[in-house]
Chain A
Amino acid sequence: MTALTFTGTVAGGLGPIEATFEPGLHVVLGASLPDLACLVELAAGARAPRRGRVRFDGVDVHRSPSSRKRIAAVLADEELLPGRSVREALAHALALRGIPGSADALLEEAGASALAPRDPTRLDGRERRLVAFALALALRDAPLLALADPLGLAPSVAHDVVLEHCRARAEHAVVLVTTPSLADAVRLGGDCRFLERGRLAPAANGTAAIAPQGLVVRSEAARRLASLLAEDSSVHSVVFDEQRTPREVVVRGDDVEALARALARVAATGELAIESVTLETPTLESVLLTRAGFTHPSFHARPTSTRAPA
Chain B
Amino acid sequence: MTSAFVLGATLTRTRLPSRGAFMAFVVALGVVVIVALLERRAGPLAAADRALTGVVFGLTVPLLAYAAFEAALGGRRLDGAVRAIALQGGNRRSAVLGVCATLGLVLAVSTMAIAAAALLAAYSPSDPRLLEDLGRTTWIAALGGLAYAAWFTLASTFGAAGGGRKWLLGLDWVLGASSGPLAVPWPRGHLRNLLGGTPVLDMHPGHAALVLVVGMALALAVAVYKLPE
The reply on A15 being an interface residue by CB < 8 A is: no
A92-B2, A96-B4 in contact; A69/B79 too (CB < 8 A)?
no
The reply on A305 being an interface residue by CB < 8 A is: no
- Contact partner of A68 (CB less than 8 A), chosen from B3, B7, B11, B87, is B87
B contacts with A: majority SS:
helix
Bound-complex Cα distance A66 to B88 (A): 10
Bound-complex Cα distance A274 to B84 (A): 48
Contact in complex: A65, B87 (CB < 8 Å): no
- Contact partner of B89 (CB less than 8 A), chosen from A62, A66, A75, is A66
- Contact partner of A63 (CB less than 8 A), chosen from B2, B11, B228, is B228
Q: Which residue of A lies closest to B89 (CB)?
A: A69
Bound-complex Cα distance A80 to B7 (A): 11
Tally of contacts, chain A with chain B, CB under 8 A: 61
The reply on B14 being an interface residue by CB < 8 A is: yes
The reply on A48 being an interface residue by CB < 8 A is: yes
Contact in complex: B79, A48 (CB < 8 Å): yes
- Contact partner of B7 (CB less than 8 A), chosen from A44, A45, A63, A81, is A81
The reply on B83 being an interface residue by CB < 8 A is: yes
Contact in complex: B229, A81 (CB < 8 Å): no
Name the distance in Å between B227's Cβ and chain A's nearest Cβ.
10
- Contact partner of A65 (CB less than 8 A), chosen from B2, B11, B83, B86, is B86
Please indicate the chain A residues that have their CB under 8 angstroms from the CB of B7 in the complex: 81-82, 92, 96
Bound-complex Cα distance A128 to B150 (A): 32
Contact in complex: B83, A79 (CB < 8 Å): yes
A68-B89, A82-B10 in contact; A96/B229 too (CB < 8 A)?
no
Contact in complex: A95, B87 (CB < 8 Å): no
Please indicate the chain B residues that have their CB under 8 angstroms from the CB of A68 in the complex: 86-89
Please indicate the chain B residues that have their CB under 8 angstroms from the CB of A44 in the complex: 87
Bound-complex Cα distance A13 to B140 (A): 47
Please indicate the chain B residues that have their CB under 8 angstroms from the CB of A63 in the complex: 228-229
- Contact partner of A73 (CB less than 8 A), chosen from B2, B87, B90, B229, is B87
Please provide the 7 A-B residue pairs with the shortest distance between their CB atoms, ordered closest to farther: A69-B89, A95-B2, A63-B228, A79-B84, A82-B14, A82-B10, A96-B88
Q: List 8 A-B contacts (CB under 8 A).
A: A45-B86, A63-B229, A65-B86, A68-B88, A70-B89, A95-B2, A96-B3, A96-B90
